[in-house]
Structure 1
Amino acid sequence: MTKRVIEWNMPINFISANASKEAKKGHISTLHTWWARRPLAISRSTIFASLIDLPNNTDKQNEINSIIKNLSKSDKRLHLEAFEIFSDTWKLEKPKILDPFSGGGSIPFEANKLGCKTFANDLNPVAVIILKALLEWPAKCQSLKFLDKNNAKCSNQKDLLIKLILKYADIIEKKSFQEINKFYQYRQLEGKNPLAYYWIKYFKCPNHLCNTEIPLLRNFYLSNKPNKKVVIKPIFAHKKVSFDIVAGDKIDFDASQGTISRGKFNCIICNQVFSSNELRKASFKKGLKEKLVAIIIQTTSGKKYFKPTQEDITTFNSAQSFFNEKIKTWPYEIDPIPTENIRTPTGRPLNTISDPFYVHLQIVNYGINTWGDLFNNRQKLALLTFLQNFKSISNDILTECENLGLLNAEELTTITLGYLSIIFNRFMSYNNNLNRWVLGGESIANCFSRTGLAMVYDYPEVNPFADSFGWKTQVTWIIEILKRNNWDNETQPLVSNYSATELPFKDNFFDAVITDPPYYDNVPYADLSDFFYVLFKRTIGNKFPELFSTPLTPKLDECIANEKLLRRKSSINSSDYKKLGIKDKNGFNNLLTKSFKEIFRILKPTGIAIIVYAHKTNEGWETMIDSLNRSGLVVTASWPFHTEMKNRLQARSSAALASSIYMICRKRLRKDIGFFSELSILAREKIFEKLNFFWDEEVNGGDLFISSIGPALEIFLQYKHIENYNGEKISSKQLLQFIRQSCTNYVLGKLLKNTSVEMIDKPSLFYLLYRWMFLNHDIEYEEARKIALSTGLNLEEYWNKRGSFIIKKGSRIRMLDSNDRIEHYETDHLIDAIHKSIKHWENNQFDEIKLIIDKFTNLQEEFWLLCQALIETLEPKMSEKKLLEGFLLSKKKILEY
């Protein structure tokens, strides 16, 4: 079997750097919201490298490496050489490429651009529409046929489509403007129409002696820039709250102190603090009420804020009355305002605050039960009006296409409506009551600016006709994508809607399967995309009835470990999991295994598969290893690509992973049993070999451990079973423990200049490793426990002990540095000695330092090595690093003292 370039070498640092520079304008991520898309530069480079045979001589290999570097850049002129090599390699027949979990489409998009016969599949109907818009519809437009072949007006199919979208998007807006603009742009402020209306939620203090309206705010700022402070100041009278807008020197209170903090809220008047349960109870009984507190305009000098008048309140109330009358004219069977329930574990709306819910859909705890509940009354009017005008244009588009002499006029009509429906979805993602006001940039983030729908207590209501964030803005984003992306391809991409566990393709069909499967419990795609599903169903559901035949997106076959996302689950019997679409670790494992077995089945014997994975938990990686092993696929290479290289601090915080691991797999015959004691030696050698390369490529922190999994699997997955000599099977969990231990030994060896780590005590090794991975950030206990075990430390024996540098608070671990350790502590370990020494150095107490160093006479080399390792590990601005640097500069003076 010929080795491919990707199985030899990849310039991961170079490619990752270019991935982090991808421009936003015209990028496919701006087409429609989708979560965890792969960077295009990485997709493009890995697809190419997986389809090109490795040259035999070194010069040619280096040349290919340079070509891949150019391919990862955004300048398309640098891609031509790679395209020529690809075309020459596959001149007889283009390779057939499948992504069975296509999602947002990065992989099939780049495969199609390269010239592959591209197959994109996803179970989720929302993803399928996105894929059609990226792949299928542009190709269909290229093949439009006219009765008059010399029709000059239609010589460019892309221009024709753009013209149709612009024309009918404009018609939708103008019709809507005529009907409802009176409820938005009824008055101007400094000659400007409103950009947005800023609302806050409030409820009455549960203390019956107080019973005052309490605004629900984390702070009172509208702008918190160094040179621009604007706040809403609460004014209480007769148990009601109103607001003034105050700026600059006129701010006479601490605006940073809101009423909500860490799940609790306090009453400004009576100073009582209440749990979030009180808030939820009030939400269930009467719902949270809202107040309009500011109107925002955009000027040439920035945003300005105005206090609402009674006219603003009256106009909003009039919009509700207008909506009540207008909805009576809705001619379609389906309700225009989505009545579908937001998903809960039981399939029913919550009745009490003790009912179970999904953590990513926390809004159901506040009486928000249907997707229509995400819109205030004026937003419902905008939704109804724009939707009604959308529905009215279908026949007009068809007539125009027929008049142009199109043989497939119906198809172009559907495509045009498809892009308009995407515009409508973008529009509504900025027109709901979960939008966020972004203080830093004085901007608006839509409801999916975070992965999950949490409760929002203050939000900006966008003016649909504003120049920013309104309908026109969303049209512009779509047109930019169509203009900037080249549609030329000889083959027609195929988009399908199947479960990855049951694909409709023949055995041994694909030259490559490249996919980014779901990461355990990472993103609940189906639940989140229901927001868009119910909108698509109302705009183009009649054009794609096979995609939108169910109330919500399919959940039963979705590959996700969503049991991990359940909260208050004790009332649910695990025997009901299957019918409720709840999957535990085994449920996820089974679905992922079936998917990987399908990849094995449809992949040609000489084919290649790439499986992308990025999950920080052991459970996630255990299921990945089990599924790969059970599928029969063998890992032949692996590469960590990271997209946040410039922000090393973020990559090493909160156990966050900046890297995704691209595992290269083949169909190969495997041996039945391998013995762990023999294979572990080979695996450790492979791990160290690859870690040397990854270390030079600046892969660090938790990413380095994840990066070491692939090299180990290259050894272990050559066998169906790994056992000890006594027949005891080695589990995936045990393999991960071995891999983590190997990686720990490697890192400590690097940091301590390959000195014997056995001479350094376990708590000190743990401190060094923790700082190297996470700096001064708190992390989850389970993550800290695994790190401690890799150094041989039992964390429970050390946390929260008097004088300990390890603090456990709730489910998180915090590591104290020398400045934080204020309690008395003994110098039992090297790190204790170092912490005390640098504090004594800071106070010029050299006698005390000498006493400490004398205590560790036999470990002086290790003492100074650990100091140097910490200096190289910590960030420049960290105070402990500065103390250590000064201390080390005084080493000669200390030793001679």
Structure 2
Amino acid sequence: MKRKLIEVALPLETINRESAREKSIRHGHPSTLHLWWARRPLAAARAVLFAQLVDDPSSRPDEFPTEEAQRAERERLHGIIKDLVVWENLRNERVLAKARAEIVKSCGGNPPPILDPFAGGGTIPLEAQRLGLEAYASDLNPVAVLINKALIEIPPKFRDQPPVFSGLAQSEIRAWTRAEGLAADVRAYGTWMREEAEKRLGHLYPQATLADGSTANVIAWIWARTVTCPNPACGIEMPLVKSWWLSKKKGKEVRVVYSVVEDPSHPSGQRVKFGIESTNGRMPDFENDGTVSGRTGASCIACDALSPVSHIRDEFKAGRGNTALMAVVAEGKRQRIYCAPSDTHIAAARIQKPAHNVDGTIADNPRWFSPPAYGLTEFSDLFTNRQLTTLTTVSDLVAEARALVLRDALKAGLPEGERLEAGGTGAVAYADAVATYLGMAASVVADDLSSIVTWRSSHGTGASRSTFARQALPMTWDFTELNPFAGSAGDLATTLPGMAAVIERLPASGLARVEQRDAASQAFGPLVSTDPPYYDNIGYSDLSDFFYVWLRQSLRSVHPQLLSTMLVPKSEELVANPYRHNGRDGAKQFFEDGFRNVFANARAGARSDFPITVWYAFKQSDTSDDGTSSSGWETLLDGMVSGGWSITATWPSRSERGGRMISVGTNALASAIVLALRPRPEDAPTTDRRGLISALQSELPDALRRLQQGAIAPVDLPQAAIGPGMAVFSRYAKVLEPDGSQMTVRSALARINEILDQVLSEQEGDFDGPTRFAIAWYRQHGYNTGLFGDADNLARARNTSVERMDRDEILTSRAGKVTLIRPVDTPADYDVLTDEHTSTWEVLHHTIRILETAGVPAAGAFLATAQSRPDDAVDPDLVKELAFLLFSVAEKNGWTKDAISFNAVAQSWGDVVDASKAAPSPHEQGEFDFSEEDD
């Protein structure tokens, strides 16, 4: 069996860094095509697919007979991955061709097709297609299926085809490659659709009249929901406001102010009047902001009566809830202009609900949906009448735009052909394709055009927060109604260019097929790489109903089979939803049974020459003191092992770096874990606990050393170490405990952690005497002070002395007290060439200081000089091992600052080593001092 690169080593830090960087990229990123929850980063998916298919050099001993040769080749392959994951190389044919060539070579000229049975947002199938592989995607959710079709199935059908919009192809002298023509048509017909919508609806969105009599375009209207005050003596229509502030930017603070005025037209005889106040740079009081107070209810601004949540709910359920306009946000010169509400703007919004709008009931699940508790039970209830009118009009325009595309495609000479859903590639199918993207655009703007949208006063001078700012539909009190023709969020004019930029960057090549299918019921032929749902983290089907009702409104005639149901199918969805499966226990059982069925089916059709890869996304509550919980990580591992799989690798995937460090002793989880698995042979042997521990002790040290030598940070070592550890455990059909019972995954993880600690401790024997002393002293005291007598005994046992280490400036020994010197306090005039006894400890600590103060080039030059010592040159691998070891000690003792420093130097070690190789010659110490001070 040839081991693949993913089963041995990955340049994990580079992959994670680019994955985190990718989160800040919007233009052209597939995530902007349509919202989907919990997408895997493109960079990580691309790297995993490459490493899943490419041989590790250890599997080709005829080409790479020595460990040194294997390591060099592994570094070369890692270099390809490092280039591959960079966002700017997404369309770099030289980089992609190099990666594809390695895949073809390792696959004997015939790479396997890739299947993602939980395709979701389409990351894995898209990256498989980018790497030149046949891509198959399936999902039960029609919104996910539509996204995948838009990414991988539709573009290849119309590859290298010029746009059909009248005169567009002739107006630009260019080669229309890939899906560029399709993108241009989406932009052109979408622009027509937007202009037509403004013609029909523009009167509903009047301009703002400013204080000087001039007018300005309105960006948004800020509304407050209202209920009748429960105090009979008051009875005013009281506003429910979370915050009065419109802008909290220093020096430009603006807030809504209010007063209670007489008004005979209101039943109570009075009403609330709203105005705008600028604090002119005064420090505002942001406390006690608004009328709504947590879950206790709201206070009346007229009489101070408290309205409990129950009263507010009853009012809305009885249809007595209302809205009041608090402010108008207009567009100024590089700033927001806040205006008080006027009768003109109030009247413009008070229109009848359109007779023809979306159907669909919101799921009654209070965990994800708050509006139903307040009587907003239908999806149409989440929009103002003006928003419903706009979104319905835009949805209807999709069909009109499709008719124009069909007319122009036939004029351009395309054969009529079949419908897109029937597999057509002619004019009719092309009209369906363009309409699909336009319908998705209409769905995207709905995210910004609902009454769940809120105003972010802390964002500059103010900005909107979309409906799905998080993975739920909350109840909002003061909400933002955006102008769909203001050239900002919620406007097709801003949505369409982003969508076209995505389409232009798609591979649009090769064979791709997307199907709506339940993963638990399908046969698995292609090689699997997938990101399955995890328990109840996200209610995909319930949440995506919000978009589905609008997609069905605009695209049901284009995708009649896919959009045939009233709402997204739910009963077979593999999510542990207690509201659907008779409580928490029933939901847990449903998920675990379904999960086992999926991977049992995958096991039945699995190939033995490639591992499958499975992403595991976790939530923070999964972690406990020993890094696992029975409903999460253990359940996944146990399901895989009991389902006949051998786990050969586990890699932590981080798309963001927080301040929390991962404990070596706990194997706490990263934001996602990717597992490599192979089918366990039917005749796999059985062993006992002693046999397992013996195998772990034999195999883990080499595996851990390879991990340390690779581009992995100490913070990720514990999770990555589970891979080779579980590979040993899961190769056996059973592991028996002394009492004859079968060893659990929890027990196996504990054994793996014990061996990991043991291996790290045994590595101390590789170091010189002073370093071994310093490790032992650091373990007991850190950089704090201890007694000379204790230090003297410890030093003698390691064949060194406190006096010598004091002279070497590893520690200070004064008045019977001994203290290790921190990296930041190591002497800047240290000369590694003239030092008689240079320890690994000293090199690490000086490297940390130089790295933190002068950067990688200076640290690399220092390392080059240390390696040039004539008698006892420094071993860079030992320095890195020491960083890993000290990180584990610091983490266990809760010394966070120390742990961060050791982790940082280890994860930068590859760059430091490269810089040392690039150093022209060993530097004189004076040069270090000068360059460091100069910096």
Band of TM-score, shorter chain: 0.7 to 0.9
Relative to structure 1, the CA distance from residue 608 to residue 240 in structure 2 (aligned partners, 3 Å threshold; closer, same or farther) is: same
Counterparts of 2:703 and 2:255, CA distance in 1 = 54
Counterparts of 2:76 and 2:899, CA distance in 1 = 37
Counterpart code for 2:12: I
Counterparts of 1:481 and 1:6, CA distance in 2 = 29
Is 1:162 matched with 2:183?
yes
Q: Residues 425 and 532 of structure 1 are in contact (CA less than 8 Å); yes or no, is this contact kept in structure 2?
A: yes
Equivalences for 1:115-130 in 2 at 5 Å? 115-130=132-147
Counterparts of 1:201 and 1:621, CA distance in 2 = 43
Is 1:589 matched with 2:607?
no
Q: CA deviation at 1:167?
A: 2.8
Give the match's secondary structure for 2:653: strand
Is 1:426 matched with 2:437?
no
Structure 1 stretch 134-143 or stretch 739-748: which is displaced more? Answer: 739-748
Is 1:531 matched with 2:513?
no
Is 1:614 matched with 2:627?
no
Q: Deviations over 1:641-680 (max 9, x none)?
A: 21213x435999xx99653111111123153544345425
Q: Deviations over 1:765-795 (max 9, x none)?
A: xxxxxxxxxxxxxxxxxxxxxxxxxxxxxxx
Is 1:19 matched with 2:13?
no
Equivalences for 1:269-348 in 2 at 5 Å? 269=301, 271=304, 275-317=308-350, 320-321=351-352, 324=354, 327=355, 336-344=356-364
Other-structure match for 2:276: 245
Q: Deviations over 1:222-253 (max 9, x none)?
A: 11122321111232345632321111248797
Counterparts of 1:35 and 1:650, CA distance in 2 = 25
Relative to structure 1, the CA distance from residue 201 to residue 704 in structure 2 (aligned partners, 3 Å threshold; closer, same or farther) is: farther
Other-structure match for 1:262: 294
Q: Deviations over 1:93-132 (max 9, x none)?
A: 3421111111111111111011011111111110010001
Counterparts of 1:271 and 1:748, CA distance in 2 = 66
Give the match's secondary structure for 1:523: coil
Is 1:68 matched with 2:92?
no
Q: Residues 19 and 41 of structure 1 are in contact (CA less than 8 Å); yes or no, is this contact kept in structure 2?
A: yes
Counterparts of 1:870 and 1:96, CA distance in 2 = 47
Relative to structure 1, the CA distance from residue 531 to residue 640 in structure 2 (aligned partners, 3 Å threshold; closer, same or farther) is: same
Relative to structure 1, the CA distance from residue 194 to residue 98 in structure 2 (aligned partners, 3 Å threshold; closer, same or farther) is: same
Other-structure match for 2:651: 639
Give the match's secondary structure for 1:679: helix
Relative to structure 1, the CA distance from residue 202 to residue 554 in structure 2 (aligned partners, 3 Å threshold; closer, same or farther) is: same
Give the match's secondary structure for 1:359: coil
Relative to structure 1, the CA distance from residue 387 to residue 750 in structure 2 (aligned partners, 3 Å threshold; closer, same or farther) is: farther
Other-structure match for 2:194: 173
Counterpart code for 2:285: D
When the two chains are superposed, the root-mean-square deviation of aligned CA atoms in Å is: 3.7
Counterpart code for 1:455: M
Identity of aligned residues (%): 27
Other-structure match for 1:37: 39
Q: Residues 208 and 330 of structure 2 are in contact (CA less than 8 Å); yes or no, is this contact kept in structure 1?
A: no
Counterpart code for 2:368: H
Q: CA deviation at 1:495?
A: 1.0
Give the match's secondary structure for 2:192: helix
Decide which of 156, 177, 200 is 1:139's aligned counterpart: 156
Q: Residues 128 and 495 of structure 1 are in contact (CA less than 8 Å); yes or no, is this contact kept in structure 2?
A: yes
Decide which of 594, 601, 614 is 2:604's aligned counterpart: 601
Give the match's secondary structure for 1:228: coil
Other-structure match for 1:543: 558
Relative to structure 1, the CA distance from residue 754 to residue 718 in structure 2 (aligned partners, 3 Å threshold; closer, same or farther) is: farther
**Residue-pair matches, total:** 723
Stretches of structure 2 that go unaligned for 5 or more consecutive residues are: 263-269, 416-425, 623-628, 765-772, 782-888, 902-935
Q: Residues 218 and 257 of structure 1 are in contact (CA less than 8 Å); yes or no, is this contact kept in structure 2?
A: no
Counterparts of 2:568 and 2:543, CA distance in 1 = 10
Is 1:516 matched with 2:531?
yes
Other-structure match for 1:803: none
Relative to structure 1, the CA distance from residue 11 to residue 256 in structure 2 (aligned partners, 3 Å threshold; closer, same or farther) is: same
Relative to structure 1, the CA distance from residue 631 to residue 447 in structure 2 (aligned partners, 3 Å threshold; closer, same or farther) is: same
Q: Residues 70 and 79 of structure 1 are in contact (CA less than 8 Å); yes or no, is this contact kept in structure 2?
A: no
Counterpart code for 2:382: L
Other-structure match for 2:676: 664
Decide which of 204, 213, 223 is 2:247's aligned counterpart: 223
Counterparts of 2:159 and 2:498, CA distance in 1 = 21
Q: Deviations over 1:782-819 (max 9, x none)?
A: xxxxxxxxxxxxxxxxxxxxxxxxxxxxxxxxxxxxxx
Other-structure match for 2:577: 562
Other-structure match for 1:493: 512
Counterpart code for 1:241: V
Counterparts of 1:651 and 1:286, CA distance in 2 = 51
Counterparts of 1:364 and 1:738, CA distance in 2 = 49
Other-structure match for 2:56: 54
Relative to structure 1, the CA distance from residue 639 to residue 390 in structure 2 (aligned partners, 3 Å threshold; closer, same or farther) is: same
Other-structure match for 2:825: none
Decide which of 463, 467, 477 is 2:487's aligned counterpart: 467
Give the match's secondary structure for 1:195: strand
Counterparts of 1:589 and 1:279, CA distance in 2 = 40
Counterparts of 1:676 and 1:295, CA distance in 2 = 71
Stretches of structure 1 that go unaligned for 5 or more consecutive residues are: 328-335, 345-356, 567-571, 761-864, 878-897
Other-structure match for 2:433: 415
Counterpart code for 2:274: F
Q: Deviations over 1:293-330 (max 9, x none)?
A: 1111233322221111111111222xx14x55xx4xxx
Relative to structure 1, the CA distance from residue 589 to residue 685 in structure 2 (aligned partners, 3 Å threshold; closer, same or farther) is: farther
Counterparts of 2:748 and 2:141, CA distance in 1 = 34
Relative to structure 1, the CA distance from residue 753 to residue 124 in structure 2 (aligned partners, 3 Å threshold; closer, same or farther) is: farther
Q: Residues 251 and 282 of structure 2 are in contact (CA less than 8 Å); yes or no, is this contact kept in structure 1?
A: no
Counterparts of 1:867 and 1:65, CA distance in 2 = 28
Q: Residues 253 and 281 of structure 2 are in contact (CA less than 8 Å); yes or no, is this contact kept in structure 1?
A: no
Q: Deviations over 1:399-430 (max 9, x none)?
A: 21111111211110110100101111111111
Relative to structure 1, the CA distance from residue 163 to residue 868 in structure 2 (aligned partners, 3 Å threshold; closer, same or farther) is: closer
Q: Residues 200 and 458 of structure 1 are in contact (CA less than 8 Å); yes or no, is this contact kept in structure 2?
A: yes
Counterparts of 1:229 and 1:519, CA distance in 2 = 43
Counterparts of 2:762 and 2:308, CA distance in 1 = 49
Q: Residues 45 and 68 of structure 1 are in contact (CA less than 8 Å); yes or no, is this contact kept in structure 2?
A: yes
Other-structure match for 1:96: 113
Equivalences for 1:811-830 in 2 at 5 Å? none
Q: Deviations over 1:118-173 (max 9, x none)?
A: 111111110010001100111011176999xxx98697363432333233212222
Q: CA deviation at 1:467?
A: 0.8
Other-structure match for 1:443: 463
Q: Residues 220 and 256 of structure 1 are in contact (CA less than 8 Å); yes or no, is this contact kept in structure 2?
A: no
Equivalences for 1:394-413 in 2 at 5 Å? 394-407=402-415, 408-413=426-431
Q: Deviations over 1:8-52 (max 9, x none)?
A: 210101111111122221011111000111111111111111111
Q: CA deviation at 1:501?
A: 1.1
Give the match's secondary structure for 1:142: coil
Q: Deviations over 1:62-101 (max 9, x none)?
A: 2112111111212324444323333444573342111111
Equivalences for 1:679-718 in 2 at 5 Å? 679-680=692-693, 682-683=695-696, 693=707, 707=720, 709-718=722-731
Counterpart code for 1:620: G
Give the match's secondary structure for 1:360: coil
Counterparts of 1:735 and 1:876, CA distance in 2 = 29
Q: CA deviation at 1:389?
A: 2.2
Counterpart code for 1:648: G
Counterparts of 1:205 and 1:271, CA distance in 2 = 10
Q: Residues 562 and 582 of structure 1 are in contact (CA less than 8 Å); yes or no, is this contact kept in structure 2?
A: no
Q: CA deviation at 1:758?
A: 13
Counterparts of 1:253 and 1:208, CA distance in 2 = 34
Which of 1 and 2 has greater Rg?
2
Q: CA deviation at 1:759?
A: 9.9
Q: CA deviation at 1:468?
A: 0.8
Q: Deviations over 1:374-394 (max 9, x none)?
A: 110110110222122222233
Q: Deviations over 1:424-448 (max 9, x none)?
A: 1111111111112222322222211
